[in-house]
């Protein structure tokens, strides 16, 4: 009778007793799970005909690596060297120090979230943020919810239920993650009334559906993640506002990114203040060009905002206290003229980026010969479409191997491969991250023969 091939498997106890695991300082549960993972892999290999089993200390080392991975949280800090400042897959905007501290404070203790300290009674949850938003945008009223998708839903549900809402065919956009303007409108109970063509919509197109009674409201959506070029025409907010006034219907706007004031955005990029001066309500994201936490911000006329806040959906879509703390701090940064991290990244001049890339290349060259190269980045997050941001990166190779190695580090480093090189764009590196990259490449070199 043939010997059971699985008999050669090391025992769990033996693996757990090996120094690699026993002295690892990792939680016992993670050690066991790591050992299990390695044994399971081995069983599969044996069943597939493998006869050469690695030695115990090698297996123990593999088990430790697996245990380390299992002990780490799933949501982890990563180094964004993609050059995309608002990377939706990487959490969009990194918070400012002030915002991060506000979050930590609100998280660790109790707070006056809904308590008026002066009056000694229940207070408004979003009051402080509303005041700051009014101050910054000049709007009469303001409110904030969970994200901009929620803001659009609330705006339409509360202000245009059962009404026909006119929107240009050029603005029926999909934002990503299957958030499509027509679908959200359907959910809100508003009726979509498409006007114009994909590339051209005129004021008379909107007027026709108001005149016929098909539509009782106007919606303008900023096509934030794409650009229609060539033979195009759309109607400016000012003109829509005049039309809305004439027909006594509300004008609602989804601005998407929500840039405040003058900034490193193109001249013709609409700001919140510009649209808020004309619209009944403008909504935008907290974590795009504002550079704050995930949030949906609504600003506009006092009466319209009061109706939004009174809608039952407002409670369902409300902002949690940590995001609220971060949003208030982010708005304070804006008020005080302090550039939040994403804004600072978008504002950095190419020559400063070049210097930063050259310094990084010098730091890394002892471990992996590399050079600073010019590259093109983008703002990301569905903002500033078609705007190339000239940037600088360090170019490394072998690209594929290094990309996988850096992505697998305890603090993963994410770049992008371009023309056979791994590019680490310096625009999106935060203070201290150069050293993380340096240590990673030192480890890379250490593993080479």
Binding-site ranges for ligand PLP (CB under 6 A): 147-149, 152, 175, 179, 221-222, 224, 254, 256-257, 285, 296, 382
- Nearest approach, Cβ of residue 176 and ligand PLP (Å): 7
Helix ranges (H only) for 109-233 are 127-137, 148-159, 181-188, 203-211
Q: Spell out the alpha helix ranges (H) of 18-147.
A: 19-22, 28-47, 56-71, 97-108, 127-137
Count of CB atoms within 10 A of residue 119's CB? 8
Q: Is 11 left (phi over 0), alpha (psi -120 to 50) or beta?
A: beta
Q: How far is the CB of 316 from ligand PLP (least distance, A)?
A: 15
Residue with Cβ nearer ligand PLP (175 or 252): 175
Whose Cβ is closer to ligand PLP: residue 184's or residue 249's?
A: 184
Work out how close the CB of 225 gets to ligand PLP at its nearest, in angstroms, rounded to a whole number: 6
Q: How far is the CB of 90 from ligand PLP (least distance, A)?
A: 14
Instruction: Please say whether the beta carbons of 254 and 296 come within 8 A.
Output: no
Comparing every residue's Cβ against ligand PLP, the nearest one is 256
Q: How far is the CB of 331 from ligand PLP (least distance, A)?
A: 16
**Which single residue is written with the structure tokens 């290999």?**
45
**252 or 353: whose CB is closer to ligand PLP?**
252
Q: Which is nearer to ligand PLP, 62 or 271 (CB)?
A: 271
Determine which helix (DSSP H) or strand (DSSP E) holds 107, and give its type and residue range: helix 97-108
Strands (E), 243-360: 251-256, 281-285, 296-300
- Greatest C-alpha distance within the chain: 95
What residues have CB less than 8 Å from 82, skipping those under 6 apart? 90, 377, 414, 415, 416, 425, 428
Which helix (H) or strand (E) element contains residue 115?
strand 115-116
Nearer to ligand PLP, 20 or 297 (CB): 297
Within a 10 A sphere around the Cβ of 282, how many other Cβ atoms?
A: 31
Angle CA(108)–CA(111)–CA(114) in degrees, nearest 5?
A: 145
How far is it, in rounded angstroms, from Cα 269 to Cα 262? 10
CB of 383 to ligand PLP, least distance (A): 7
**Nearer of residues 198 and 204 to ligand PLP, judged by Cβ:** 198
Measured from the CB of residue 145, what is the shortest distance to ligand PLP in angstroms?
10
Q: How far is the CB of 175 from ligand PLP (least distance, A)?
A: 4
Q: Are 90 and 80 in contact (CB under 8 A)?
A: yes
Q: How many CA atoms lie within 13 A of 237 on its CB side?
A: 23
Residue with smaller CB distance to ligand PLP, 24 or 257: 257
Which is closer to ligand PLP, CB of 18 or CB of 146?
146
Tokens matching residue 90: 């990487």
Q: What is the DSSP code (8-state) at residue 171? A: G
Q: Half-sphere exposure of 438 toward its Cβ, with a 13 Å CA cutoff? A: 13
| Distance in Å, CB of 144 to ligand PLP, minimum | 11
371-377 and 296-300 as β-strands: parallel, antiparallel, unpaired? unpaired
Residue 434 to residues 246, 276, 357, 415, Cα–Cα distance (Å): 58, 41, 10, 13
Q: How far is CA 365 from the centre of its chain?
A: 32
**What is the smallest separation between the CB atom of 152 and ligand PLP, expressed in angstroms?**
6
* Cβ proximity to ligand PLP, 34 vs 196, nearer residue: 196
Closest to ligand PLP by CB, 66 or 384: 384
Q: Closest separation between CB of residue 287 and ligand PLP, Å? A: 6
Q: Residue 165 CB, nearest distance to ligand PLP (Å)?
A: 15
Would you say 10 or 291 has its CB closer to ligand PLP?
291
* Nearest residue (CB) to ligand PLP, 222 versus 356: 222
Block residue for tokens 């695991």: 21
The β-bridge partners of 297 are 144, 284
Q: What span, in angstroms and rounded, lies between the C-alpha atoms of 320 and 184?
A: 22
Instruction: List the one residue out of 433, 352, 365 whose CA is nearest residue 394.
Output: 365
């Amino acid at each position: 009778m043939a010997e059971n091939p699985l008999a050669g498997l090391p025992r769990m106890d033996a693996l757990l007793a090996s120094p690699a695991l026993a002295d690892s300082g990792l939680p016992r549960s993670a050690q066991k799970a790591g050992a299990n993972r390695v044994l399971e892999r081995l069983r599969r290999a044996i069943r597939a005909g493998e006869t050469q089993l690695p030695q115990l200390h090698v297996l123990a080392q593999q088990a430790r690596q697996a245990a380390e991975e299992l002990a780490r949280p799933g949501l982890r800090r990563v180094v964004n060297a993609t050059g995309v400042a608002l990377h939706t897959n990487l959490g969009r905007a990194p918070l400012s120090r002030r915002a991060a501290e506000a979050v930590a404070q609100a998280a660790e203790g109790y707070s006056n979230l809904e308590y008026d300290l002066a009056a000694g009674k229940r207070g408004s949850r979003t009051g402080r943020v509303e005041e700051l938003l009014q101050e910054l945008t000049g709007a009469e009223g303001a409110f904030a919810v969970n994200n901009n998708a929620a803001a659009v839903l609330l705006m339409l549900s509360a202000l245009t239920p059962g009404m026909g809402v006119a929107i240009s065919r050029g603005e029926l956009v999909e934002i990503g993650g299957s958030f499509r303007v027509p679908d959200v409108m359907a959910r809100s109970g508003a009726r979509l009334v498409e006007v114009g063509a994909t590339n051209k919509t005129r004021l008379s197109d909107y007027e026709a559906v108001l005149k016929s009674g098909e539509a009782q409201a106007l919606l303008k959506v900023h096509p934030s993640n794409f650009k229609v070029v060539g033979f195009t025409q759309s109607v400016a907010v000012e003109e829509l506002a005049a039309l809305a006034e004439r027909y006594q219907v509300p004008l609602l706007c989804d601005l998407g990114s929500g840039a405040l004031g003058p900034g490193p955005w193109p001249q013709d990029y609409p700001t919140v203040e510009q649209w808020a001066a004309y619209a009944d309500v403008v909504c935008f994201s907290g974590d795009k060009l504002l550079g704050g936490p995930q949030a949906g911000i609504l600003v506009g006329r006092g009466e319209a905002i009061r109706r939004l806040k009174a809608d039952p959906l407002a409670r369902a879509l409300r902002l949690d206290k940590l995001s609220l703390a971060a949003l208030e701090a982010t708005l304070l940064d804006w008020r005080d003229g302090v550039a939040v991290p994403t804004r600072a990244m978008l504002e950095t001049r190419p020559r400063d980026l070049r210097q930063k890339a050259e310094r990084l290349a010098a730091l890394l060259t002892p471990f992996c010969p590399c050079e600073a190269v010019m590259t093109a980045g983008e703002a990301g997050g569905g903002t500033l479409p078609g705007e190339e941001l000239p940037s600088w990166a360090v170019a490394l190779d072998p690209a594929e191997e290094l990309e996988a190695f850096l992505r697998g580090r305890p603090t993963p480093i994410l770049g992008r491969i371009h023309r056979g090189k791994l590019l680490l764009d310096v625009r999106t590196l935060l203070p201290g991250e150069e050293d993380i990259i340096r240590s990673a490449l030192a480890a890379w070199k250490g593993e080479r023969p």
